[in-house]
A and B are shown apart, each in its own frame.
Chain A
Amino acid sequence: MVPELGQFALSLALLIAAAQGILPLAGAARGNAAWMRVARPAAQGQFVFVAFAFACLSYAFVTNDFSVQYVASNSNSELPLEYRIAAVWGGHEGSLLLWVLILCSWMVAVTVFSRRLPEDMVARVLGVMGLVSVGFLAFMLFTSNPFERLLPAPLDGRDLNPLLQDPGMVFHPPMLYMGYVGFSVAYAFAISALISGKLDAAWARWSRPWTTVAWLFLTLGIALGSWWAYYELGWGGWWFWDPVENASFMPWLAGTALIHSLAVTDKRGSFRSWTVLLAILAFALSLLGTFLVRSGVLSSVHAFATDPRRGVFILALLTLVIGGSLVLFAWRTARIGLGGRFELLSRESMLLTNNVLLVVAMGTVMLGTLYPLVLDALGLGKISVGPPYFEAVFVPLMAPALFLMGVGPLARWKKASLPELAVRLRWALGVSLATGALLPFVMGRWSALVGFGLALAAWIVATSALSLLERVRHAGSGAELRARLAGAPRSFYGMLLAHVGIAVFVAGVTLVLGYQLQKDVRMAPGDTVELDGYTFRFGGVRQVDGPNYVAARARIDVTRDGKPVTTMLPEKRRYRVQENPMTEAAIRTGITGDLYVSLGEALEGDTWLVSVQRKPFVTWIWGGCLLMALGGGLAASDRRYRVAVRRRDEEEVAVQGGLETNPARSET
């Protein structure tokens, strides 16, 4: 009964979404206020029905209703409750439902936080999001219904993939989807602006906080996924350039470019068409990411082709979203105008260069990800594109971007001067070169790549410190330091924090790749192995019973210079339902590096293969991502966006006068 109610709620949600997609857009086009006013209640109503459907599916999981096919294939009566709930989004159908639920949440957020936006803008934004929702709800109802019954019901379910039975995997997909779907707001704003023809600075300012928040969630989602891979896959890698990871990384790159491009459109009115294109691109890549991971096209192109219903639907939806947007763009682009002019050397030009670098890097990742799929689909042979390709292409493209990241925030808008910049940056340059040259010696061994990476990280930190210093110095003499610091807007601190996050990330990656150590040894009880000054003593293995698995748990005592450091308990688990073995690594986390121990196979007797690893500064990788996300949150909460909305009426006058008359805004 409950699953049928859920399905009924979804069908109703589809009807509401259709109303939301058609009426407000038509109303905005014809100036019919009553039709436009449909948008908000429709969005909220749709949220209620989708949330109800989601609750129904969760109920089926919690009560072990294996007559629902999706529950039977993704859960089991022995599965602990928290993973039964996480299993709701453990497969294709449920993750689509989660996607739509998050889309509806974003729509409700738009209805709440857009009180002061012009009514026709809100109507268009919600209308476009409603259309996206129609696409997804129809996809779900017609090809991937999570409430499909399986009769006769099996006695028990096939269980959730053991790899997903982990706290990291519980939060990873919702975070990632918050990011993916969040870009739909930026996309809806861009499309609305295209439809209305008012693609101005005000539009960019409305869109900015939404884009930043979406980007923040995507950053956290990717970081969670990477952290999960590190501790769950059992061999200490944190990024594999796997298609699944690339699928989430591509929208991140486009989104990062979008954030910066929006800043220029907001402040200077330039890059307007480019910004719109990026907004379309970021959302299109989010769609691509969702489908790449969930449709099964990655594990086998041919399995995908044998169930063509889903494939055709996906391709149609992607074509509609991308093609429709581009046609609209081409039609309206003449009305966009060019916006503020700038010199070859200016903050605009540097941001533009960084934008192009990010998009080109995104393109190379896409090529490496899709090329094997395309070859395989065309029957031209099987190839694989591994990490060496991505590293060889990505690093040279990102290094200049990181360098420009230091210069950009210090350069003037419109026209910068090279000699002046050089004078201001000389100390930062000196500090970073010295760091790159000397710090590797402190770490024990000098290598050019480590020196280069550390120099770049130090460059970003030093230039960020310089921005802060200059800001304080120029903030008016006489005022107290604290008042001067408080005078700078939050978005400025958010930018600094996010940039320092990148620096921390780069330092972490450099140090891990430069100094990680690993030993694979066979160990019998009592055996010891030395690594980086630590002594690991193998204390044998005993059997441990988990809720739905049995594990062989080893005890490994770690000492340094005879003093005990920690005891590590790596496990080899066997999950009872799917009979899958799983390696649970034991990790001792530290700010300067991790100790990482995982069990290999059992050899004869009590002897085991054991892998011990030292991962210096590996936590900095995720710490850096966390800083980026915090910076994004700080920037999105800037007063400016709220004040700006309140001052809308004054803005409107400037907007109607055209952008060229718009006075240059404060230089933040």
Chain B
Amino acid sequence: MKPRHRRLALVAAGLALLAIAAALVLNAFQSNLVFFFTPSQVAANEAPQGRTFRIGGMVVEGSLKRPGDGLTVQFVVTDTAVNIPVAFRGTLPDLFREGKGVVAQGQLGPDGVFRASEVLAKHDENYMPPEAADAIKRAHATSEKAAQTLVVPDGGKR
């Protein structure tokens, strides 16, 4: 093989490798990107059925329940506008607390209950998961806007 051909072959091999890597990345992105939705968005049916996504907000005070054997936990996540019930089987993280921010990853069941496969609460007591903070901020913004433009007696509660 001439040196020029050899170099061409090397370049071609490199490009092929990059193409394979790109295909892998795109494929993995397609199926594994987890999008974030606020409880309001979930209530407005913006979240996909049958696909894993994240919701975030505050755990409603007094909503934590352990029916049955105590391994399944139920609680309610709110962005102060909309409440979404969440069910989770497993050990809750150390910093999970009622009245604190939380992010849950899982799928929305047909009964409107979010079945979490993972519950995240971060390392620091005062630290609000950014997604949760964002959800609450957005809910506030919408309700303020609504209050300015329309008379909505119950602030969009469901």
| Chain A positions near chain B (C-beta within 8 angstroms) | 161, 163, 234-235, 299-302, 341, 343-344, 349, 352-353, 356-357, 360, 363-364, 367, 376, 381-386, 388-389, 392-393, 396-397, 520-522, 578-583, 598, 600-601, 603, 607, 609, 611
Contacts and interface: CB of A to CB of B under 8 A. Distances in A.
B125 interface: yes
B70 A522 contact: yes
B21 interface: yes
Contacts of A352: 10
Contacts of A392: 24, 27-28, 31-32
Contacts of B21: 360, 363-364, 393, 397
B130 A344 contact: no
Contacts of B131: 382
Contacts of A579: 125
Contacts of B10: 344, 349, 352
Contacts of B44: none
Contact of B17 (A161, A163, A357): A357
Interface in B68-124: 69-71, 89-92, 94-95, 105, 122-124
Contact of B3 (A234, A299, A341, A363): A341
Contacts of A341: 3
B93 to A, nearest CB: 9
Nearest to A603: B70
Contacts of A520: 71, 89-91
A603 B66 contact: yes
B123 A163 contact: yes
Given A522-B70, A600-B91, A356 B130 contact: no
A210 to B, nearest CB: 28
B47 to A, nearest CB: 13
B43 interface: no
A376 B24 CA distance: 23
Interface string B5-20: 0100110011001100
Contacts of A583: 94
A388 B94 contact: no
B70 A609 contact: yes
Nearest to B1: A344
Given A161-B124, A344-B9, A600-B92, A389 B14 contact: no
B29 A522 contact: no
B155 to A, nearest CB: 24
Contacts of B29: 385, 389
Contacts of B66: 603
A237 B1 CA distance: 50
A364 B123 CA distance: 27
Nearest to B28: A392
Q: Which of B18, B32, B105 has the most CB of A within 10 A?
A: B32
Contacts of A360: 17-18, 21
Contacts of A582: 94
Contacts of A393: 21, 24-25, 28
Given A163-B123, A300-B130, A609-B71, A381 B24 contact: no
B125 A384 contact: no
Given A235-B91, A344-B6, A299 B130 contact: yes
Interface residues of B, number: 41
Q: Which 8 A-B pairs have the closest CB atoms?
A: A382-B36, A392-B28, A389-B32, A600-B91, A388-B32, A581-B94, A389-B28, A360-B21
29 contacts: A161-B124, A235-B91, A301-B130, A344-B9, A356-B14, A357-B17, A360-B18, A364-B21, A364-B25, A381-B36, A382-B54, A383-B35, A383-B36, A384-B34, A386-B32, A392-B28, A520-B91, A521-B71, A522-B70, A522-B71, A580-B94, A580-B95, A581-B94, A582-B94, A598-B91, A600-B92, A603-B70, A607-B70, A611-B91
Nearest to B24: A393
Contact of B125 (A381, A580, A609): A580
Contacts of A521: 71
Contacts of A580: 94-95, 124-125
Nearest to B91: A600
Contacts of B94: 234, 580-583
Given A163-B123, A234-B94, A360-B17, A385 B33 contact: yes
Nearest to B89: A520
A397 B13 CA distance: 14
Interface of B: 1, 3, 6, 9-10, 13-14, 17-18, 21, 24-25, 27-29, 31-36, 54, 66, 69-71, 89-92, 94-95, 105, 122-125, 127, 130-131, 134
A44 B124 CA distance: 40
Nearest to B135: A382
Contacts of A363: 21
A577 B66 CA distance: 30
Contacts of B3: 341
A366 to B, nearest CB: 11
Q: Which of B17, B70, B94 has the most CB of A within 10 A?
A: B94
Contacts of B34: 383-386
A255 to B, nearest CB: 20
B33 A389 contact: yes
Contacts of B70: 522, 603, 607, 609
A386 B29 CA distance: 10
A337 to B, nearest CB: 14
Nearest to B33: A383
Given A360-B21, A383-B34, A600-B92, 10 more contacts: A352-B10, A360-B18, A367-B25, A376-B130, A382-B131, A385-B34, A392-B27, A583-B94, A603-B70, A607-B70
A578 B13 CA distance: 55
Nearest to A607: B70
A492 B28 CA distance: 38
B32 A385 contact: yes
Contacts of B32: 385-386, 388-389, 392
A115 B87 CA distance: 67
Nearest to B21: A360
A235 B90 CA distance: 11
B92 A601 contact: yes
B68 to A, nearest CB: 10
A376 B131 CA distance: 10
B91 A609 contact: yes
B134 A382 contact: yes
Contacts of A349: 10
B21 to A, nearest CB: 5
B97 to A, nearest CB: 9
Nearest to A360: B21
Contacts of B33: 383-385, 389
B28 A384 contact: no
Q: Which of A300, A384, A397 has the most CB of B within 10 A?
A: A384
Contacts of B17: 353, 356-357, 360
A25 B14 CA distance: 37
A305 to B, nearest CB: 12
Contacts of A163: 123
Contact of A396 (B6, B24, B31, B125): B24
Contacts of B28: 388-389, 392-393
Contacts of A386: 32, 34, 105
Contacts of A609: 70-71, 91
Contacts of B89: 520
A583 B93 CA distance: 9
A388 B29 CA distance: 9
